[in-house]
Structure 1
């Protein structure tokens, strides 16, 4: 898939998630998600912080100034925990705002910067272009994790056909074990 098409697909799955969260109530976001120990508020906050983290990687690739996705694994977890108990209005504003900031960072990426190597915490390095598929998988899989009626049968055909290593492997292990 060409990059421009993938960017459009990321926008589409993000819009679908934002719309779904907009239909939730404060009580809904405090209920358990399908991820052990996380409420729906945790999942929504995680998706928002993921947009921020991946935007950091795009800034790194664009400017050449190393900008970590997260300060540390502990800071990542703390950020999720801190935001999880907000109202649905607060969660929705964070989710949509972080998604818009991510999309703006994608928009200003010069062509030559998509090949710059970046990494998340202790992961292996990967080209900045990989951020797009990582974002799509975070949005689609965590939309599923909310447990609000969106599942693999609802995934866009293009996403269901994509070969993903870790996110899909983990998803399948957790659900099919």
Structure 2
């Protein structure tokens, strides 16, 4: 599982990712929010409602780390889904305000977390045990990928390199331990190996952005060079 240190650079990347997303929401109308996102079955409003609810959910994990009292990210999947759905009934202005306020509150909570708490053991909704250093990656990943999902003109190739590489490493780490991953090798645009899964299989070459877009399900892989793209199991 990818983790990053809670240092000034990490906090800057998180704040910058939130700023990019919020800038994209400037002038969003109710019709815009009701329009489909790139995620099947979700409107832009669903994506925004998820982002607004996810920040305090991740903050609950920071509370767990700080206090030692088990504080689940969500009460249940049903409660999580109901909260997202309820948010879609808000106006675009109200949704954007929730995203902005929750992002600022989460950033403050992360930056003020006491040093010993960063080594505490917590458990996200996905079930694995980790430290809050992992939560920094999850939050960055959500901000980076959901900006693309909003379908407001942003693509993976516009993600700053450092943030992109953190998210790419996280996705590659998932596939390294996932079931049903076929054999294949990833090379970057210069031919350096990024990852190898199993033995043999096709070689897939392209930019880091193109790899991230394909591996995370944000593209069909058309920007990659390969005799045949392997059939990947779903990511997350």
Aligned mates of 1:174, 1:75 — CA distance in 2: 27
Distance 1:6 1:22, change over 3 A: same
Structure with higher RCO (Cα < 8 A, 6+ apart): 1
Find 2:216's aligned residue among 169, 172, 176.
172
Asked whether the 8 Å contact 1:30–1:85 carries over to 2, the reply is no
CA positional deviation for 1:122: 4.3
Query: What value does the CA root-mean-square deviation take over the aligned residues?
Result: 1.9
Cα displacement (A) at 1:161: 1.7
Offset of residue 19 of structure 1: 1.6
Q: Runs of 5+ in structure 1 lacking a partner?
A: none
In 2: Cα distance, 1:92 partner to 1:126 partner: 30
Give the conservation status (yes or no) of the 8 Å contact 1:22–1:88. no
TM-score normalised by the chain length of structure 2? 0.70
- In the aligned structure 1, how far is the partner of 2:33 from the partner of 2:126? 31
**Aligned partner (choices 21, 26, 29) of residue 30 of structure 2:** 26
Q: CA–CA distance in 2 between the matches of 1:44 and 1:170?
A: 23
Larger Cα-atom Rg: 2
Alpha-carbon spacing, 1:141–1:173, altered in 2? closer, same or farther (3 Å):
closer
Question: 1:1-177 counterparts in 2 under 5 A?
Answer: 2-3=5-6, 4-162=8-166, 163-165=169-171, 166=174, 172-173=216-217, 175-176=219-220
Secondary structure of the structure 1 residue equivalent to 2:219: helix
For residue 128 of structure 1, report the CA deviation from its aligned partner: 1.0
* C-alpha distance in 1 between matches for 2:111 and 2:25: 25
d(CA) in 2 for partners of 1:66, 1:28: 39
- After superposition, the C-alpha distances for 1:50-71 in whole angstroms (9 at most, x for unaligned) are 1011100001100111111111
More helix by share: 1
